[in-house]
Amino acid sequence: MILELKDVKFSYNSKWNRVDVLKGVNCSFERGKVYGIIGKSGSGKSTVLSLMAGITLPQEGQVLHEGIPTSEMNLQEYRRDKVSVIYQSFRLLPLLTTVENVMYPMELRKIPQKEARARAEKYLCEVEIPESCWNRFPVTLSGGEQQRVAIARALATETHLILADEPTGNLDAENSDKIIDLLKTLAGEHDCCVIIVTHDVDVMDKLDVIYKMHNGLLEAR
């Protein structure tokens, strides 16, 4: 088991308002499999992903990575070394070029520049970003290209846990298929655990396990 959620509760609290989003989520995720999380807009899918990614901590319950609760970890190290995230809104760094964006997380991990560059180019090729895009800034790329660069950036770090929030939201059916196949190959060949939030029925059909976010809980389907 690479990731386990035990009775996880989370609410957003502001001075005027309190939104209970997760109400006791229990579920677990293994290596070698691709999981889907589905559910209505606003049901808490991105929230549960941000807890898995160590961006926030649950108010109650535990998120355990290889048996260790995120609440007991150095979260900065966890985010840098153990997990890769593909964000719903890409979050490419605007002042870095395409290839520099993909290299950036590897530089944080002190991977030598030559190797980082080689891996960046390898994964940009895997997601079919042509060389003519490599030295351009994200703002000059199309939405689908930006999404694929964000995917290359997450994969190039080669962690065993990949979290993807609507990774195919801006892609046509053909590109979407290729990305899902690539994620499935990584799960199979590199023994990764991939967790994908998606609304896309065609994507769902290709995944190993589907959970549905409903009334603050993740239910197996």
Ligand X SMILES: Nc1ncnc2c1ncn2[C@@H]1O[C@H](COP(=O)(O)OP(=O)(O)OP(=O)(O)O)[C@@H](O)[C@H]1O
Binding residues for ligand X (CB under 6 A): 12, 19, 21, 39, 41-47, 88
Q: Which stretch binds Mg ion (CB under 5 A): 46-54, 59-67, 77-85, 94-102?
A: 46-54
Nearer to Mg ion, 23 or 190 (CB): 23
Q: Which does 12 bind (CB under 5 to 8 A by kind): ligand X, Mg ion, none?
A: ligand X
CA distance 153 to 99: 9
- Contact call for residues 124 and 99 (beta carbons, < 8 A): yes
Question: Using an 8 Å Cβ cutoff, are 221 and 189 in contact?
Answer: no
| Of 39 and 61, CB closest to ligand X | 39
Q: How many residues touch Mg ion (CB under 5 A)?
A: 1
Give me the least distance between CB of 104 and ligand X, in Å please: 25
- Shortest gap between Cβ of 182 and ligand X (angstroms)? 23
Q: Which is nearer to Mg ion, 46 or 70 (CB)?
A: 46
By CB under 5 A, tell whether 47 contacts Mg ion.
Answer: no
* Shortest Å, Cβ 115 to ligand X: 35
Nearer to ligand X, 15 or 110 (CB): 15
Q: Which two tokens stand for residue 15?
A: 């001075």
46 lies in the site for Mg ion, by CB under 5 A: yes
Nearest residue to Mg ion by CB is 46
- Which residue, among 106, 90, 88, has the nearest Cα to 139 in the 3D structure? 90
- Our CB check for Mg ion shows the closer of 44 and 99 to be 44
